Amino acid sequence: MSRGFVKEDDQEEVPMVPPRADLPSGIINYVTPIGLDALLQERETLISEREHLDSINEKEKRIATNHINAKLQLLNNRIATAKVMNLEKQPQNEVRFGAFVTLKIGDAPTLQKYQIVGVDEADIAKGKIAFISPIAKLLVNKKVGDQAILKLAHGERVFEIIDISYSS
């Protein structure tokens, strides 16, 4: 049927759901135990939100439900593909997934501490960097005292590993 014969109010709005953090095809979805808990909590929150939708307008409620269902579909895929890493089994003297790494960056007077985590956990403001990030890739397999050099357009940045731990 031509769109000219369809009432505008009859059209369902297709929910636009932002994609989750990028996880390249073929890369294992590693998560920390805390990261998996956060994904499971996010799912519970979405389910609760869907169950408690209040709307006078049935169409608005249907659109909101579709939006939540689309977010749940993406989230459930992440949960299903998650591979939880046991941080206690990581080599404690090397930077690996889940490590808290204390760094001296260049000539900066203060030290920085980051944890290498899964893509859904990454949040630079909280000191969490994704294991697929360029900096994390440079740090992996390094030990205390080692340096990692990040090549930049105008020079390079040197990261010196000061400390490695697997508990905050």
Note the pLDDT of residue 125: 95
Average pLDDT score over residue span 34-40:
96
- Give the global pTM: 0.83
pLDDT category of residue 162 using cuts at 50, 70 and 90: very high
Rounded to 10 degrees, what is the CA torsion of 93, 94, 100, 102?
90
pLDDT category of residue 11 using cuts at 50, 70 and 90: low
Per-residue pLDDT reduced to its tens digit, 52-101:
888 778 888 888 889 999 999 999 999 999 999 999 999 999 999 999 99
Per-residue pLDDT reduced to its tens digit, 23-33:
888 999 999 99
Starting from the edge strand earliest in sequence, which strands make up the sheet with 155-165, in order?
128-130, 112-117, 100-105, 155-165, 147-152
Percent of the chain, pLDDT > 90? 70
The mean pLDDT value of the chain amounts to 89
Task: Please determine, for residue 4, whether its predicted confidence score (pLDDT) is greater than 70.
Answer: no
- 168/42: higher pLDDT: 42
Contact 34, 121 (CB under 8 A): yes
Out of 17-21, 63-67, 136-140, pick the least confident: 17-21
Buried-state track 88-118, b at ≥16 Cβ within 10 A, e below 16: eebeeebbbbbbbbebbeeeeeeeeebbbbb
Task: Please determine, for residue 8, whether its predicted confidence score (pLDDT) is greater than 60.
Answer: no
Note the pLDDT of residue 1: 47
Note the pLDDT of residue 72: 95
